[in-house]
Amino acid sequence: MRRVMHRYFRLLPFALPATLAVMLGVALAMAPAPAQAESAEAATHRSETKAVIELFTSQGCSACPPADAFLNELSSRDDVVILSLPVDYWDYLGWKDTLAQPENTARQRAYAAVRGDGKVYTPQMVVNGHGHYVGSNRHKITSLLATAHLPVSVSLSRTHKRLNVDIGAGTPPQDGMVTVRLVTFLKKAEVPIRSGANHGRTLTYRNVVLDNEPIGMWDGKAMQLVLPTDAVMEGPGRGCAIILQIESDKGPGRILGAGTLRAEAQG
């Protein structure tokens, strides 16, 4: 996916959907809001996804396997989007994380900058783009999920070689822009660890982020996107999610909506 799209996104900080259609030759439609524009509350009612859980983890972190296992369990839920983001800052301890990307480390630090607390550690979970929690704290995360919600509906469907994205209407924030992000991931990875803190273990990861790219912006109106499935989920064992996130000059903020294909539709 990065090979197909990265050269376009590096030129534009936020690629507008119409531009994406021209550059990639994809069919894309901006659907006007219905005559009776639905409110954010109505969109909440329709949304199947109520939380996005991002786990910043590392193969070189002795405390991370319990959090990785917990995220694996959460992956079976239909009402959450889970993402594993391996970081690279523990590589010096004796094992170079085979899945880590510097972009994941940068995203974690950007979250800390937006929050203003400077808290960067593993295993760290960020829920709906704000707050941070020890990733193995099952009680805390389970309690958060009991009341979590996303105010804007996002749904994905797959037909032949088309990935259809429907984003509902809602109330945009007063400050900051709302970016539509396409996240591609490896659905499952099993990694034997041969040195370092987890030496001798084979760790299983779910939804390991490969790319997180802006593909448009949301202004509160309902919109539809159509993307080429072959490019979005290039290669075996790949999946994708769409995330609607408030962003500022400092970095990513609250997530307003998210959607992913169900397991059987990821292909």
Tell me the pairing of strands 80-86 and 51-57. Answer: parallel
32-46, 147-161, 233-247: segment of lowest average pLDDT: 32-46
Q: Answer yes or no: are the C-beta atoms of 143 and 229 closer than 8 Å.
A: no
Residue 33 in domain: yes
pLDDT in tens, 120-178: 999 999 999 999 999 999 999 999 999 999 999 999 999 888 999 999 999 999 888 99
- Whether residue 267 lies inside any domain: the answer is no
The yes-or-no verdict on residue 237 having pLDDT over 50 is yes
Dihedral of CA atoms 27, 32, 33, 35 in degrees, nearest 10, equals: -130
Amino acid at 150: L
Report the percentage of the chain scoring pLDDT > 90.
73
Residue 266 lies in a domain: no
**What is the extent of the structural domain holding 218?**
2-261
Structural domains counted in the chain = 1
Q: Any idea what the Cα angle at residue 76 is, between residues 74 and 79, rounded to 5°?
A: 75
The answer to whether 248 and 175 have CB atoms below 8 angstroms apart is yes
What is the pTM assigned to this prediction?
0.83
45-54 pLDDT per residue, tens: 344 899 999 9
pLDDT value of residue 46: 40
